[in-house]
Amino acid sequence: MIDRYTRKEMGALWSEQSKFQTWLEVEIAVCEAQVKLGVIPEAALEDIKSKASFDVERIKEIEEEVKHDVIAFLTNVNENVGVSSRFIHLGLTSSDVIDTALAMNMKRAGVMLRRELDVLHDAILGQAKKHKNTVQIGRSHGIHAEPMTFGFKMGVWLEEVRRNQKRLDDAIDNISVGMISGPVGTFSNISPEVERLTCEILGLTPAKISTQIIQRDRHAQFLCTLAIIGSSLEKFATEIRHLQRTDVLEVEEPFVTGQKGSSSMPHKRNPVGSENITGLARLLRSNSLAALENIALWHERDISHSSVERVIIPDSTILLDYMLARFSRIMSGLVVYEKNMARNMDVFGGVVFSQAVMLKLIEKGLSREDSYKLVQTNAMKAWNTDNGSFKDHLMNDPSVTKHLRKEEIASCFDPHEYLKNIDVVFDRLGV
């Protein structure tokens, strides 16, 4: 992943240094397990712990010759350990180390992402509380529908983030498995007890069954979960982009001192952060597709998944980490234009209150069909007339006023009547 979208902590997790360090953690944990079982002497373990180290450049140099990264790693470690190195990697196959270490780093990445998701949750919760009663027009098909509140919109996002928190928890749990079971996973040269003890040391759960690899449906679930979270962020960001349009301008991304929106137009204040989120979500989805393709491997394993995972797993976690942090800043600093929300509510003289008028006519004994026709006729007059007012058309239509007094018509234009039950929803959300 390019530096532009890489934050320090997550980027460091996926560095070559971190990868080999995690491999070493696995190898030493296996040695510790074998000491507990009496397979190797404790003195050898202490020797290994005190001397085991590696140099990334040296590993690369060895790999140029042997064409195998795990062998290159072990060769370099053994150069530093000496005689006791014969107890390192005893009874293991390469994927025991690679897949267990990958699970550890995916778990660590997942924990970082969960932390950022919590920050976003709190930012959205703050907006939901602040704007519980900020009246805004709801839209369907992009067209004005009926009154709602901006806090209600935030509540919808809040609950989606909570679902994503659970999805991520499940994905972290599902990927937090280790495998120390040798070639094809049958424990041919190593005890299942070594696997159990090693995983206990490393904070993982032993895979109930594995082949020469941990099965890739686990990794696919993790990547698909990241893609879903990214798609939620895109959904939120797309809404901000629509609401920030000049002709709407109900909300706006924070625009800091010194920021510029265009090289040619000094007046521009563009939703660049939300547009960035929208674009990066596409990468997460494409990476999740590659993860799904990795599930089907030949027999007990091949390595067609390996090259793919070297790219998609670091890139997806790094991207989502960046996206969550950036969108949390947008939400925390979001500018809400309540006056513009009120202005937009009154387009065409309150056509958005059409259902209330229709229901009032039905109460007076008109059929639904006749009520709908009367209301629609006046709504369309307002819609298609310069400065047309739906309310005025109703007040001046004898077909309406013979059924409804003017004060009854006027009573239909109170947005709070539409919102009288909205607190029930906020109570459900704990807002």
CA dist 163 and 109 (Å) reads 19
Rounded to the nearest 5 degrees, what angle is found at the Cα of 370, between the Cα atoms of 369 and 372?
Answer: 65
CB 149 within 8 Å of CB 135: yes
Compute φ and ψ for 68, nearest 5 degrees. Answer: -150, 115
Residue 205 contacts residue 218 (beta carbons within 8 Å): no
> What one-character DSSP code corresponds to residue 24?
H
CA 380, 383, 387, 392 dihedral sign is positive
219 is catalytic: no
- Other beta carbons within 10 Å of 309: 21
Q: What is the CB-side half-sphere exposure of residue 117 using CA atoms within 13 A? A: 28
Cβ proximity of 253 and 330 under 8 Å: yes
> Cβ distance 352 to 338 under 8 Å?
no
Distances (CA, A) of 219 to 147, 162, 339: 43, 22, 48
Q: Which of 15, 50, 53, 262 is catalytic?
A: 262
Catalytic residue among 140, 141, 263, 299: 141
For this structure, is 141 an active site residue? yes
Tokens 């058309």 correspond to what residue?
Answer: 393
Task: Give the position of tokens 């944990």.
Answer: 29
Active-site residues, by number, are 141, 262
